Amino acid sequence: MYPPQVMTSYFSPVAYFPTVIQELLKPWISERLFHRFEADRYIANVSTPVLMLHGNEDWTIPPHHTTELVKARDSVTNACVEEGYDDKGLACSDVLFLEGAGHHTVMESELAQRKVRSFVNAAWKSASKTKKR
C-alpha cells in the first residue's frame, strides 16, 4: 500500500477533506511519515502461510487494505512453494472478511475463532510433516 493511503483512510482527519485536496496532500504526507506502512512490500517476503481476518465494518483500517495485501501476497508465485505448504492442504494466503465486525470486534465472531483454530491446526500439522522429512 502506498503510505498516504493509510493516512487518508477514515481514521485520519485528512479523510474528511475533498478527494482533490487529499490527492494534493499525499506527496507532502509521504515525505513526513515516520512509519511507512509498507505491509504489501513485506508480506511478499513471508514464506509461511498467512491468515488475514478483517471486519467489513472496520472504521480504522478499510477492508480494501486487506484485499491489497492479499493481492500482493498472491503476486508472489512461489511464496510458500519452497517449504512445501501448498501440497499439504494449507493455503499460502487465506482471508476471511467478517460481516458486521469492526476493528476491535473481529475475534468476537465464532466464525473467526473457528477459522483461526483451523488455520493453526493445519499449520501445526504441516510443520510437523515438514520436520519429519
Q: Does residue 42 sit within a domain?
A: no
pLDDT at res. 122: 85
pLDDT at res. 123: 83
- Assess whether 32 and 59 both reside in one domain: no
- Assess whether 31 and 56 both reside in one domain: no
- Assess whether 121 and 92 both reside in one domain: yes
**How many domains, the chain?**
2
- Assess whether 30 and 61 both reside in one domain: no
pTM of the predicted structure, to 2 decimals: 0.69
- Assess whether 90 and 127 both reside in one domain: yes
Structural domain including 115 reads 47-131
Q: Which amino acid is at 106?
A: V
CB neighbourhood size of 10 (10 A): 11
pLDDT at res. 78: 60
pLDDT at res. 111: 96
d(CA 3, CA 14): 13
pLDDT at res. 4: 55
- Assess whether 72 and 124 both reside in one domain: yes
Q: Does residue 111 sit within a domain?
A: yes
- Assess whether 80 and 32 both reside in one domain: no
- Which regions in the chain score pLDDT beneath 50? 82
Q: Which amino acid is at 126?
A: S
Q: Does residue 96 sit within a domain?
A: yes
Question: By the 8 A CB rule, do 129 and 83 touch?
Answer: no
